[in-house]
Amino acid sequence: MRGFFYPRTATGSSSLIPSPPWHYSGDLLTVEYRTDPARVAELLPAPLELADSDPGAVALIWADWQSCSTDRAELLDPVRSQYKEAFVVVRCKFQQQTFSRCVFIWVDKDFAVARGVHQGYPKKLGSMWQTRPHPFAHAAPQIGPGGLFGATLAAGDRRLAEAVLTLREESPTNGFVNGHPMAHHRVYPGIDSGDDAFAELISSGASEFAGGQAWRGDVDLKLFESPTEELARLEVHEVIGGYYRQVGVVWNGGATLARLA
Amino acid sequence: MRGFFYPRTATGSSSLIPSPPWHYSGDLLTVEYRTDPARVAELLPAPLELADSDPGAVALIWADWQSCSTDRAELLDPVRSQYKEAFVVVRCKFQQQTFSRCVFIWVDKDFAVARGVHQGYPKKLGSMWQTRPHPFAHAAPQIGPGGLFGATLAAGDRRLAEAVLTLREESPTNGFVNGHPMAHHRVYPGIDSGDDAFAELISSGASEFAGGQAWRGDVDLKLFESPTEELARLEVHEVIGGYYRQVGVVWNGGATLARLA
Amino acid sequence: MRGFFYPRTATGSSSLIPSPPWHYSGDLLTVEYRTDPARVAELLPAPLELADSDPGAVALIWADWQSCSTDRAELLDPVRSQYKEAFVVVRCKFQQQTFSRCVFIWVDKDFAVARGVHQGYPKKLGSMWQTRPHPFAHAAPQIGPGGLFGATLAAGDRRLAEAVLTLREESPTNGFVNGHPMAHHRVYPGIDSGDDAFAELISSGASEFAGGQAWRGDVDLKLFESPTEELARLEVHEVIGGYYRQVGVVWNGGATLARLA
Amino acid sequence: MRGFFYPRTATGSSSLIPSPPWHYSGDLLTVEYRTDPARVAELLPAPLELADSDPGAVALIWADWQSCSTDRAELLDPVRSQYKEAFVVVRCKFQQQTFSRCVFIWVDKDFAVARGVHQGYPKKLGSMWQTRPHPFAHAAPQIGPGGLFGATLAAGDRRLAEAVLTLREESPTNGFVNGHPMAHHRVYPGIDSGDDAFAELISSGASEFAGGQAWRGDVDLKLFESPTEELARLEVHEVIGGYYRQVGVVWNGGATLARLA
């Protein structure tokens, strides 16, 4: 039986996702802000703790991706290659090291959901939109001073977040909250009880990364309530900044930090 | 941290799926046929074997569901309650017992994908449509002699299957292929290598079941090729029959048959 | 060149919609309420006037349809047959006769949009969901006392309306606001200026109608703001009632009431 | 009553589309080929005739757009701004002048459908995907020699077309078939009969245009049958070439060439 993920078959060609490495080209629109650190702590299961510095910092990141496996076959059938996402990252501490951690994430393709199951990103389906830059300004901003970008997130037919970013100047980074290795839980609930059949804390990050010039600017951010989402519980106390950056990334697995069940 | 599935939070209200039991009301359109048993065997990883009798029997089932948790909250926000699916079931043998096994399945909501991860159904996203019966025949068949139902399945912007079912007579069953307890693999690929971090063979089935009168009839079935799917590899050698039945079901967990990794 | 609608070709088989008559089977969930009659008047272009009696009455109707042309071909490829909609109806007066008028409507298929262009329903795309009754109550209400139905409407990734209906008793009608012939404008803006190239006021209605027992009950209705929609401007001052009814309908054209441009 | 398109209201803010001018930034992937001119002639209603030169030339064009009205508000809520389309263009002759004419087109947003109704583009909904270039090549081609782009079109859950384009060299144009003013029919079927209530032949084109360097290359094109589409009837007899170009466009109305009904 072959296939990295289900369904496994004799050929392996049905697998919802291929074996890593996975390759990505995309645009990141990042909004960083501070919330009540107690709300962040609520999202950090043991053995994770709040980060030592700026423990209430949150990044809400929209990404517009094209992705593929090493043979790049998906790029020629781009329904299998393009997807959008929005995700919420906080920081945490494990064994005195600082990690980033994705606490909420929405994507719009099934292969992206499956990657999330593997990587420990808690992916749901959503509807994400972010303004695209384009060489011709007729209906597009430029990545430069005054560049105006909007971003929205909805799930379950409810709008969850919207942001407007006005670029001001070049920036050495596109934020700091998502800048550490990721510490994620990978959990499989037991088939016969309330206990997890499998649970581990893993770490992973990009195995290759290339980034264009980052830009920062002013940002307006709104979060909305939903009965099935808790993004708005991470209330915006203070906006840190907004960022835009184009990147190329390779992801190629991670490492187990702690086996939990 | 609370929540049956990810993302787990202090309240548990963000969990993509609630704890079982899960409740379902829906309509099943089933097509059963025989293919080359060798093609079925390809989809049975050890320790499963081909069923002793009629080992090439396949059921392709369309289902139009409304589902909810015990508090029925999803029913009042039906974007969270209604979904459609199409799935392929074969039979197999484990320790001399006959089981049903879902080898391919497509659904159209994220909560259904997550249930599949839990139950061992290898769910992808797809676009499924099946004709609905209705009390008024202006644009609907009746569940009775001559009732004409169509069903289609697409994924990745390609049509994968289509069927037309003409009901002829009452039937004691809506098929036999999906009539056993399910034997499914639950597998979590390792974060750091090609080996599975967790794998088990589980069994599960309905904890409650109620069914209306089943009907059977003539059926025309077509399967189509796709570079990412292997449904068409289960070639139609002989149609067994087509069935229609309305059902109510409760699913409430299963049991581990064998720990594999 | 053949084809009722575009694109017209030698065969006519590409036409987005076939010639009427069009046949429908479906379920209607209706909420009727009173708003400020001045807000209704805003939506009545000359030569229409406010209805004489209960001029602020509004019906917000969700419909879950299966539809087809006379040869019923769409029923066997139900992606072309099933659609959902939500629409807002008010009443008006033209030449001393009372008409119903759809002022806002959202659907989820292109053929439904095209029918609306023809019939004068101002259709946009939206996401509509309404609870379905089912013979098995595991995850479904029954059409009867205590039957609990939810309905939601979203467009542009924003929720616009949601309702919860609890059925109480049989009712002689499923409301009165949508009970008259429809008076709709059919307008084609000029290609070269701000003036309409074509405009007429037409009347149409069902050429055949069959309805099951109507039920009425208590209803909770919420409307939400959107920058591109004005449904919420029809504020809910007083709920009249909620209704549920299954119907079969044929639509087969209408008549011009007045040529306007 | 205000609003360029339906629904018209007191404020005009509900109109599905604003008044022109409409502004576009986007990427065009064009495939040109020759088919039997008789098949083109079938799509040219009187008073149009086949073009004098190369009358069987066809352009199948994928476009990935961001668009907005003059106040650019849609750019900050990009669900209202971004859309994709694929369309088929042939050439024709009217009063000795050569025109381009869109004979089939699919889009994925309702505002794009409404623009088509206005402009005479026969728009249906579809699912279109085209590979995007990106500064980082991890999962993206570059617009340059060897750049490899895929494009697909589906509607009604069936794939209708797919193309693979390999860029080879700079080109003075991105094709010639779509290079003339458009000659389109705008038709409103009568509400009471089979006759059109309104019909005219109009001409329109870009009021402003800016284009980047065009590239041409080798292309592989496949068309597929569908019971509701006739794209495959325009059989590929000879591929002319494939092209890629980024453009900025303004559309601001057109002119009536002939009133037909």
For C152, the closest chain B residue by CA position comes to: B77
pLDDT reported for residue D38: 98
pLDDT tier for residue B156 given thresholds of 50, 70 and 90: very high
Over 90: is that where the pLDDT of C157 sits? yes
pLDDT in tens, A147-193: 999 999 999 999 999 999 999 999 999 999 999 999 999 999 999 98
Question: Residue C117: in which H helix or E strand, if any?
Answer: helix C110-119
D190, part of any domain: no
pLDDT reported for residue A134: 98
**How does the average pLDDT of chain B come out, rounded?**
98
pLDDT reported for residue B26: 98
Query: Inter-chain contact D137–A26, Cβ cutoff 8 Å?
Result: no
pLDDT reported for residue A251: 98
Torsional class of A117: left (φ above 0), alpha (ψ -120 to 50), beta (otherwise) = alpha
Q: Which residue's entry shows tokens 């979590």? A: B188
Distance CA D108, CA D64 (A): 11
Closest CA to D163 of D124, D217, D104, D212: D217
* Contact residues for B106 (Cβ-Cβ < 8 A; gap 6+): B85, B86, B87, B123, B124, B125, B126, B127, B128, B153, B155, B160
Which domain, by its residues, includes C82? Answer: 22-180+209-252
pLDDT reported for residue C83: 98
With b for 16 or more beta-carbon neighbours within 10 A and e for fewer, the B115-129 pattern comes to bbbbbbbbbbbbbbb
Chains interfacing with C (3 or more CB pairs < 8 Å):
A, B, D
Backbone dihedral angles phi then psi of residue B168, each to the nearest 5 degrees: -120, -40
Mean pLDDT of A65-93: 98
For B119, the closest chain A residue by CA position comes to: A191
Torsional class of B157: left (φ above 0), alpha (ψ -120 to 50), beta (otherwise) = left
What is the C-alpha end-to-end distance of chain B, expressed in Å?
A: 27
Query: Inter-chain contact C131–B66, Cβ cutoff 8 Å?
Result: yes
C232, part of any domain: yes
Query: Inter-chain contact A189–B125, Cβ cutoff 8 Å?
Result: no
Chains interfacing with D (3 or more CB pairs < 8 Å):
A, B, C
C8, part of any domain: no
Closest CA to C133 of C145, C123, C147: C147
SS3 state of residue A233: helix
Measure in Å the smallest separation between the Cα of D159 and chain C Cα atoms. 14
Over 80: is that where the pLDDT of A194 sits? no
For C204, the closest chain D residue by CA position comes to: D191
pLDDT in tens, C6-36: 999 999 999 999 999 999 999 999 999 999 9
Measure in Å the smallest separation between the Cα of D139 and chain A Cα atoms. 5
Measure in Å the smallest separation between the Cα of B125 and chain C Cα atoms. 16
| Size of chain D, expressed as the number of residues it contains | 261
Measure in Å the smallest separation between the Cα of A131 and chain B Cα atoms. 25
Distance CA D161, CA D139 (A): 23
DSSP assignment of chain B: -B-SSSSPBSSSTT-SSPSSPEEEEEEEEEEEEE--HHHHHTT--TT-EE-SSSTTEEEEEEEEEEEE-TT-GGGGSGGGTEEEEEEEEEEEEETTEEEEEEEEEEESSHHHHHHHHHHT--EEE-EEEEPPP-SSGGG---SSTT-EEEEEEEETTEEEEEEEEEEEEEES-S-STT-S-EEEEEEEE-SSSSSEEEEEEEEEEEEEEEE--EEEEEEEEEE--BTTB-GGGS--SEEEEEEEEEEEEEEEEEEEEEE--
Chains interfacing with A (3 or more CB pairs < 8 Å):
B, C, D
Distance CA D25, CA D45 (A): 32
Distance CA B185, CA B260 (A): 9
Closest CA to C83 of A128, B87, B80, D156: D156
Structure token digits, residue C123: 């259709």
pLDDT reported for residue A193: 80
Distance CA D232, CA D222 (A): 9
Mean pLDDT of B43-52: 96
Look up residue C96 and give its DSSP letter.
T
Burial classification of residue C137, based on how many CB atoms lie within 10 Å of its CB (0-12 exposed, 13-18 middle, 19 or more buried): middle
Domain count, chain B: 1
Q: Hey, of B84, B129, B157, B164, which one would you mutate to test binding to chain D, going by the most D CBs within 10 A of its CB? A: B157
CB D61 within 8 A of CB D178: yes
- Cis status, amide bond into A78, omega within 30 of 0: no
**How does the average pLDDT of chain C come out, rounded?**
98
**How does the average pLDDT of chain A come out, rounded?**
98
- Cis status, amide bond into A47, omega within 30 of 0: yes
Strands (E) across chain C are located at 22-34, 49-50, 57-68, 82-94, 97-107, 123-125, 127-130, 148-155, 158-171, 182-189, 196-211, 214-223, 238-259
Q: Which of A82, A132, A148 sits opposite D66 (nearest CB)?
A: A132
Give the global pTM: 0.98
CB B210 within 8 A of CB B247: yes
Query: Inter-chain contact B193–A253, Cβ cutoff 8 Å?
Result: yes
pLDDT in tens, C184-239: 999 999 999 879 999 999 999 999 999 999 999 999 999 999 999 999 999 999 99
- Find the CATH number of the domain harbouring D63: 2.40.400.10
B15, part of any domain: no
Residue D158 forms beta bridges with which residues?
A: D155
Mean pLDDT of A250-260: 98
| Distance of alpha carbon D255 from the chain centroid | 19
C147, part of any domain: yes
- pLDDT over 90 for what percent of chain A? 98
Mean pLDDT of B121-143: 98
Backbone dihedral angles phi then psi of residue C10, each to the nearest 5 degrees: -65, -35
CB B148 within 8 A of CB B164: yes
pLDDT reported for residue B193: 80
CB D202 within 8 A of CB D187: no
C93, part of any domain: yes
Query: Inter-chain contact C45–D7, Cβ cutoff 8 Å?
Result: no
Backbone dihedral angles phi then psi of residue D157, each to the nearest 5 degrees: 65, 25
SS3 state of residue C73: helix
Q: Which of A67, A134, A137 sits opposite D139 (nearest CB)?
A: A67
CB A59 within 8 A of CB A77: no
Q: Hey, of D62, D153, D157, which one would you mutate to test binding to chain B, going by the most B CBs within 10 A of its CB? A: D157
pLDDT in tens, C75-111: 999 999 999 999 999 999 999 999 999 999 999 999 9
Give the C-alpha distances (Å, rounded to integers) separating A9 from A2, B48, D1, D209. Answer: 5, 13, 61, 51
Distance CA B245, CA B28 (A): 5
Residues in chain D with CB shorter than 8 Å from the CB of B129 are 157
Residue A199 forms beta bridges with which residues?
A: A187
With b for 16 or more beta-carbon neighbours within 10 A and e for fewer, the C217-238 pattern comes to bebebebbebebbbbebbebee
Distance CA D129, CA D145 (A): 22
pLDDT tier for residue D60 given thresholds of 50, 70 and 90: very high
Query: Inter-chain contact A134–D82, Cβ cutoff 8 Å?
Result: no
Give the C-alpha distances (Å, rounded to integers) separating D61 from A164, C72, D107, D242. Answer: 32, 33, 12, 10
Q: Which of B129, B152, B157 sits opposite D154 (nearest CB)?
A: B157
Q: Which residue's entry shows tokens 């499923």? A: C174
B84, part of any domain: yes
Q: Hey, of D65, D67, D136, D152, which one would you mutate to test binding to chain A, going by the most A CBs within 10 A of its CB? A: D136
What angle, 0 to 180 degrees and rounded to 10, lies between the N-to-C axes of helices D110-119 and C110-119? Answer: 50
For B211, the closest chain C residue by CA position comes to: C136
Query: Inter-chain contact D19–C77, Cβ cutoff 8 Å?
Result: no
pLDDT reported for residue D49: 98
Q: Which of C129, C152, C157 sits opposite A154 (nearest CB)?
A: C157
Q: Which of C66, C129, C148 sits opposite B140 (nearest CB)?
A: C66
pLDDT tier for residue D194 given thresholds of 50, 70 and 90: confident
Mean pLDDT of D47-53: 97
How many other CB atoms sit within 10 Å of the CB of residue D23? 25
pLDDT reported for residue D193: 79
D202, part of any domain: no
Residue D129 forms beta bridges with which residues?
A: D152
For chain C, list residues whose CB is within 8 angstroms of any CB belonging to chain A.
Answer: 127, 129, 152, 154, 157-159
- CA angle (C190, C193, C196) in 5-degree steps: 35
Give the C-alpha distances (Å, rounded to integers) separating C201 from C21, C43, D192. Answer: 20, 14, 12
- Cis status, amide bond into B227, omega within 30 of 0: no
Interface B-C: count of C-beta contacts within 8 A: 138
pLDDT tier for residue C258 given thresholds of 50, 70 and 90: very high
